[in-house]
């Protein structure tokens, strides 16, 4: 029964991924920035600073650029790699769960993974986060299948794999740390000091550390350093501790940890309650399983991310850059569900309803998003409207990257409002913003003394056809 239930969840998860992929939601802000880089830059340029304050692992950018060369710059080809690896991740995670969890816990692990709203979102975007999850599951599979090998064969197995993964997925550096720690602990017997000295003299272990270290340094001092800038870092301020207020460090740690769990399990407010199941699962696994190292391999990357955040090197909180932790967190939470159910059942007939209510959250959230699309600005429809009504002499003025992608084949190249020097006599203006106040502010800021010939509103986007009067200047109004 449990195996059939797992297969049902796999089918549901694959169907949901197909559904959202075929639905083709509009390109969102950061996704558009990455796509513009992939289209406009060549392989060598993708190793250097990127346009629009964007960042991405080099191998992923190369995969996207290859898809553009082979199949064109349409959104289907750009999103297909993420969609494909998301489907593979689901199947691999099921195989991982059935090899490591109890029979009763396996369906719950697949359930959480298959119906995760965030994993579905990342499966339908041209961003590297689906690859982050895929690499996390793949490395866990690799460790599971090689953990009983001698240390030298294990190290030789990982030496060519981990350095490549780091260039495919930035968080793989934390996952690699977990793998190396697992390899070390599997071969280390703390009761034998001589054995420890022998272990430290293993050339395979040092070659593995050297290979990963060289790959990491090459990435950190090369593409990663070139991509990093102040504008990007300002977006993640809340995901780093504020060392000017050290008394807030404990509060930040607790809040950020809860946010990591919420984002990776259920983004609804109730998602933070899963921290209880995470604690139960970790405790139950540590106390009842002989393979404690497996738990260390799963959860140590989260600790490494936390330490990196303390150094202001990598964000830690509820966001997409930590989604690679989802497989490990879901595995531990699934391990907690059977013992939690038994414990609640022994304390009352209706006590398990608490667990049922908690597990309904992913179903409700994912079911709602299957019927109602994610709230992305409808830049695709807005751009299509302009392309169908624009005349060749009319300029195109835009305020965000989404329109740069959708208007890439227009007769005139889109111009960013902030870069506009000489206003055209007549033009189309495309404005996108999350709030109506933001959109109206941009209109009042950039378009003054202009006659609005046509105005059409879309979801979180506005299109205007305007004619500038003589002497008008298209520039931001002064602060006064």
> pLDDT for 282-323, tens place per residue?
999 998 766 789 999 999 999 999 999 999 999 999 899 999
Specify if 346 maps to a domain.
Answer: yes
Is residue 478 assigned to a domain?
no
Note whether 356 and 432 are same-domain residues.
no
205 in Cβ contact with 155 (< 8 Å): yes
Listed residue (147, 141, 111, 127) closest to 10, CA to CA: 111
Average pLDDT over residues 70-95: 97
Q: Are 65 and 295 in contact (CB under 8 A)?
A: no
Check residue 199 and give its pLDDT: 64
Confidence of residue 243 (pLDDT cuts 50, 70, 90): very high
Is residue 479 very low, low, confident or very high in pLDDT (cuts 50, 70, 90)? very low
Residues 224 and 320 placed together within one structural domain of the fold: yes
Are 343 and 461 contained in the same domain?
no
Please give the pLDDT value at position 480: 33
- Pairing status of strand 415-416 against strand 426-432: unpaired
Q: Which pLDDT does position 348 carry in this prediction?
A: 78
Pairing of strands 461-468, 426-432: antiparallel
Q: What is the pLDDT of residue 476?
A: 44
The per-residue pLDDT of the chain, averaged, comes to 90
Whether residues 85 and 196 fall in one domain: yes
**Predicted local distance difference test score (pLDDT) of residue 190:** 57
Which domain-ending residue is among 371, 391, 422? 371
| DSSP E strand boundaries for 188-339 | none
**What does the angle CA 219 – CA 314 – CA 375 come to, to the nearest 5 degrees?**
110
Are 434 and 454 in contact, with CB atoms under 8 Å apart?
no
Instruction: State yes or no: pLDDT of 116 exceeds 90.
Output: yes
Is 275 part of any domain?
yes
Whole domain around residue 456: which residue ranges? 379-468
Same structural domain, 243 and 367: yes
User: What does the pLDDT read at residue 191?
Assistant: 52
Q: Last residue of some domain: 371, 402, 422? A: 371
Considering only residues 47 and 272, tell me which one the structure prediction assigns the higher pLDDT. 47
Residues 345 and 404 in one domain: no
Taking the C-alpha atoms of residue 111 and residue 109, their distance in angstroms, rounded to an integer, is: 5
For 17, 119, 207, 319, 456, the CA distances from 13, given in Å and listed in that order, are 6, 10, 40, 22, 37
Q: What is the pLDDT of residues 192-232, one digit of tens each?
A: 554 666 666 678 888 999 999 999 999 999 999 999 887 77
For residues 393 and 323, state if they share a domain. Answer: no
pTM: 0.93
Residues 437, 298 within the same domain: no
Select from 361, 37, 375, 380 the least CA-distant residue to 223: 37
479 found inside a domain: no
Mark whether 32 and 171 lie in a shared domain: yes
């Amino acid at each position: 029964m449990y195996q059939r239930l797992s297969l049902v969840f796999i089918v549901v998860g694959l169907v949901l991924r197909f559904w959202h992929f075929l639905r083709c939601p509009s390109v969102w802000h950061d996704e558009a920035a990455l796509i513009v880089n992939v289209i406009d830059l060549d392989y060598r340029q993708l190793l250097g600073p990127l346009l629009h304050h964007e960042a991405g692992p080099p191998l992923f950018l190369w995969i996207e650029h290859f898809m553009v060369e082979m199949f064109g710059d349409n959104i289907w080809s750009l999103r297909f790699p993420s969609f494909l690896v998301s489907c593979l991740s689901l199947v691999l995670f099921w195989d991982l769960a059935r090899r490591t969890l109890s029979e009763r816990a396996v369906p719950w692990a697949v359930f959480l993974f298959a119906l995760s709203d965030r994993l579905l979102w990342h499966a339908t975007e041209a961003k590297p986060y689906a690859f982050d999850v895929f690499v996390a599951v793949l490395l866990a599979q690799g460790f599971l299948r090689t953990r009983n090998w001698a240390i030298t064969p294990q190290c030789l197995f990982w030496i060519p794999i981990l350095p490549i993964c780091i260039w495919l997925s930035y968080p793989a550096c934390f996952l690699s740390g977990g793998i190396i720690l697992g390899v070390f602990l599997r071969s280390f017997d703390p009761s034998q000091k001589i054995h420890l000295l022998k272990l430290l003299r293993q050339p395979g272990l040092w070659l593995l550390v050297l290979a990963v270290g060289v790959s990491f340094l090459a990435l950190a001092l090369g593409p990663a350093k070139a991509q990093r800038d102040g504008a990007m870092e300002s977006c993640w301020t809340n995901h780093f501790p504020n060392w000017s207020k050290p008394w807030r460090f404990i509060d930040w740690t607790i809040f950020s940890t809860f946010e990591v769990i919420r984002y990776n399990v259920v983004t609804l407010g109730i998602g933070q309650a899963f921290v209880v199941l995470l604690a139960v699962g970790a405790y139950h696994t540590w106390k009842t399983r002989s393979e404690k190292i497996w738990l260390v391999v799963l959860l140590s990357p989260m600790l490494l991310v936390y330490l990196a955040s303390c150094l202001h090197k990598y964000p830690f909180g509820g966001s997409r850059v930590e989604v690679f932790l989802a497989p490990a967190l879901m595995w531990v939470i699934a391990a907690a569900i059977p013992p939690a159910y038994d414990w609640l059942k022994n304390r009352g007939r209706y006590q398990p309803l608490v667990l049922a209510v908690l597990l309904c959250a992913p179903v409700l959230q994912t079911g709602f998003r299957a019927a109602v699309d994610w709230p992305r600005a409808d830049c695709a429809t807005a751009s299509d409207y302009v392309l169908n009504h624009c005349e060749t002499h009319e300029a195109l003025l835009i305020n965000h990257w989404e329109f740069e992608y959708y208007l890439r084949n227009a007769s005139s190249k889109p111009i960013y409002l902030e870069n506009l020097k000489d206003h055209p006599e007549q033009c189309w203006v495309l404005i996108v913003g999350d709030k109506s106040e933001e959109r109206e502010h941009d209109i009042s800021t950039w378009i003054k003394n202009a006659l609005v010939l046509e105005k059409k509103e879309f979801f979180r986007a506005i299109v205007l056809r305007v004619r500038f009067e003589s002497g008008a200047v298209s520039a931001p109004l002064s602060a006064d």
